[in-house]
Amino acid sequence: MKKIKIAHLYPERMSIYGDHGNTLALEQRMNWRSIKNEVVRVEVGEKIPNDIDLIFIGGGQDKGQLVVANDLLKKASQIRDFVESGGPLLSVCGGYQLLGEYFISNDYGQIQGIGLFNIISKATNTRMIGNIVVQSEKFGQLVGFENHSGATEFIGRANPLGVVKKGYGNNPNDKLEGVIYKNAIGTYLHGSFLPKNPKVADWLLRQAIKHSGQTLKLKELNDELENSARKFASKRP
């Protein structure tokens, strides 16, 4: 079987609140199934390999986002083409914001995004922090931890990842969380997101395998521990 290759974008600057655990979860779920895989770290100034099957970008502080944003614009067409061709992508918090049209920072003004997602984000004086529970039509109950002051709004038509049952999500007002476009997901759920939400992890892996041109049915795993962690996290204040 061909190796599944994951591009982890800007792990030095954009991987806070346990975001690195997302790539670890994807690696481990493939290892348990004896699927060959590789995670390629792509920093500022480095190229994204042409043969990748999944992209991940985590969250970062505004200063880190400013540096990353300029480099991300150089990679914009490759990322957009990847997603348009069915490639799976997961972006968290700051990474999610930079894949929108733009983010307005209190300290650095408007930071241009790559326009993959039909969203804009703006800094606020409200710190949206704490455990979050989301009900997703596609994935069921999702849990995580959010810590952001940027508020995200849809411009035009966009499909949310889910509806907030506890916490803030995209902003303090509309009770929507994240976005999903084709096989690309944007979310504010840190903590890490994928270890406690294995349905999303396996969905991303299925899309990655499909994008690689291979046909493989994922072997079912015993997710008792992961489901227990999600159930416990959903009850935390």
Quote the number of domains for the chain: 1
User: 8 is in which domain, residue-wise?
Assistant: 4-234
Contact 21, 8 (CB under 8 A): no
Task: Give pLDDT, residue 233.
Answer: 85
Rounded distance, CA 33 to CA 90, Å?
A: 21
Q: Using one digit for the tens of pLDDT, what is the confidence trace for 166-202?
A: 999 999 999 999 999 999 999 999 988 999 999 999 9
Q: Is the pTM of this model over 0.85?
A: yes
Count the Cβ atoms, other than its own, within 10 Å of residue 181: 17
Helices (H) and strands (E) in the chain, counts: 6, 12
Q: Which two tokens stand for residue 185?
A: 């997901």
pLDDT computed for residue 208 by the predictor: 98
Q: Which helix (H) or strand (E) segment is 194 a member of? A: helix 193-196
Catalytic residues: 93, 190
Is the Cα dihedral 32, 218, 57, 167 positive or negative?
Answer: negative
CATH of the domain at 92: 3.40.50.880
Residues of the chain with pLDDT under 50: none
